[in-house]
Amino acid sequence: MGPRLRGDDNMVMRQYVTGPLTVFGLAVAALTCLADQASKLYLLFVFDLGARGSVSVTPFIDFVLTRNTGISYGLFQSQGALGQWVLLAIKLLAVVALWLWLARSHSRLAALSLGLIIGGALGNAIDRLAYGWVADFVLFHVSTANWRFYWYVFNLADVAIVAGVLGLLYESLFAGDAAKAP
């Protein structure tokens, strides 16, 4: 049996993982992860997007199921179990680092942004754990008579991560109290 934490040690440990806006940021993360997973579960198992193929939502957005075994934008595709576990471990380490950053955040924008990133990362990690791949389904495209543009297929977790990064960039460039990573 390992050594027990004394009261002082326990308080020091708590200071590393909690801060004035930690609950707010984690609530944002939980709601983000929940919305991401709800959309994926609906599209995979109720709407059965895999069987429907491509579904036009607007003239520039389609729903199409893509099984992403890599990371952002399909980079580092990994078909084997070892690669999937390595990607999952990296993602979980990133979530821990972001949580520690959140614990030191004193700005609501930074806490919101970090919560979005954490929730998006957890949403995609759940996919990787459950399926061995991340379910991406939104295809943004623009087509004219002479030109076509197709963006990478993405999901709500990816949108949250991008929004969170943009929030942190905005705060670091334009806000008085720049968000500082620990």
- Check residue 143 and give its pLDDT: 86
Q: Which of 9, 36, 136, 177 is catalytic?
A: 136
Assess if residue 118 is contained within a domain. yes
Q: Which two tokens mark 111?
A: 């806490």
Establish if 5 belongs to a structural domain: no
Catalytic residue among 9, 48, 158, 177: 158
Average pLDDT value for residue range 42-68: 95
For every residue of 95-124, DSSP letters joined together read HHHHHHHHHT---HHHHHHHHHHHHHHHHH
The candidate with the shortest Cα–Cα distance to 165, out of 94, 107, 122, 115, is 115
**pLDDT (tens digit per residue) in 91-150:** 889 899 999 999 999 999 999 999 999 999 999 999 989 998 899 999 999 988 899 898
Per the annotation, the verdict on 136 as an active-site residue is yes
Query: Would you say residue 3 lies in a domain?
Result: no
Which is nearest to 30 in space by CA: 89, 93, 90, 95? Answer: 95
36 is catalytic: no
Model pTM above 0.85? no
pLDDT at site 114: 97
The residue range of the domain holding 89 is 19-174
Is 107 a member of any domain? yes
Q: Name the domain count of the chain.
A: 1
Domain membership flag for residue 7 = no
